[in-house]
Amino acid sequence: MDKTRTTLYDVAEHLRTPEEMALYLDACIQEADGDAAFIAKALGDIARARGMAQVAKDAGLSRESLYKALSGERVPGFDTILKVTRALGVKLHASI
């Protein structure tokens, strides 16, 4: 019997267009249920899809600190979130 091979799924490999990235982030915000680290992880996925080094440069942060902030293991400060969203070209808005 042949062995089944599996690979880890990396969503960043499938986020190709700005529209896909925006839809992914929107879906993650809807599913997060207040979990800020989950949203930060989604931003990290998008940043990896775009190129972490360039996003870090555009955000004015070091690549290492950006990886840590968007790992999903901690909650980054809102100023970091704003820098990252600006670097990604993502606009945050509220609606009712």
Mind listing the pLDDT tens digit for each residue in 64-96?
Answer: 999 999 999 989 999 999 999 999 999 888 888
Q: By residue range, what is the domain housing residue 46?
A: 17-88
Whether 40 is in a domain gets the answer yes
Mean pLDDT of 26-41: 94
Q: Over 80: is that where the pLDDT of 30 sits?
A: yes
**In sequence order, which residues have a C-beta less than 8 Å from that of residue 73 and are 6 or more positions away?**
37
pLDDT score of 94: 82
pLDDT (0 to 100) of residue 93: 82
The mean per-residue pLDDT over the stretch 17-39 comes to 94
Residue 68 covered by a domain: yes
Determine, yes or no, domain membership for 4.
no
Q: How many domains does the chain have?
A: 1
The answer as to whether 66 is a domain residue is: yes
Q: For the residues 27-53, what does the mean pLDDT come to?
A: 95
Looking at residue 96, what is its pLDDT? Answer: 84
Please, what is the average pLDDT of the chain?
A: 93
